[in-house]
């Protein structure tokens, strides 16, 4: 219920402002990537909370935190209504950007 790992955000934090400054992301892509990283950051905070509860031997709050973290992970991985899963959409955008010529921007 309290894994040691966290989802990596370093590359996003470095690359995203550059993509925006260079006009390399469309508005919809910007919104989708922002939603994705927002949920990732929420999940990482939840994992930090769970770790604290585990260290404090607070099983009740650990279980509650675990339940919230499961919902956040599902928000990343499961499609919502007609929208693709946030993680799949983020990967699609990244793959699209990687396939473009470097000199485009």
pLDDT digits (tens, 9 = 90+) for 75-100: 999 998 888 999 999 999 989 988 88
Report d(CA 50, CA 71) in Å as an integer.
14
| 55: confidence class by pLDDT, cuts 50, 70, 90 | very high
pLDDT of residue 8: 87
The answer on pLDDT for 50 being more than 70 is yes
C-alpha distances in Å from residue 68, one per residue of 1, 9, 56:
11, 20, 18
Q: Which string of b and e fits 63-75 if b means at least 16 CB within 10 Å?
A: eebbeebeebbeb
What pTM was computed for the model? 0.84
Q: Return the domain boundaries, the chain.
A: 24-98
| 23: confidence class by pLDDT, cuts 50, 70, 90 | confident
Report d(CA 104, CA 61) in Å as an integer.
50
């Amino acid at each position: 219920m309290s894994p040691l790992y966290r989802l990596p955000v370093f590359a996003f934090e470095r690359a995203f402002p550059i993509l925006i400054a260079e006009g390399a992301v469309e508005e919809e892509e910007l919104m989708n990537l922002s939603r994705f990283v927002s949920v990732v950051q929420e999940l990482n905070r939840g994992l930090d909370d769970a770790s604290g509860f585990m260290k404090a031997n607070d099983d009740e709050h650990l279980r509650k935190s675990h339940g919230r973290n499961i919902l956040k992970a599902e928000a990343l991985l499961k499609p919502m209504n007609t929208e693709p899963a946030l993680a799949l959409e983020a990967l699609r955008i990244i793959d699209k950007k990687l396939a473009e010529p470097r000199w485009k921007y």
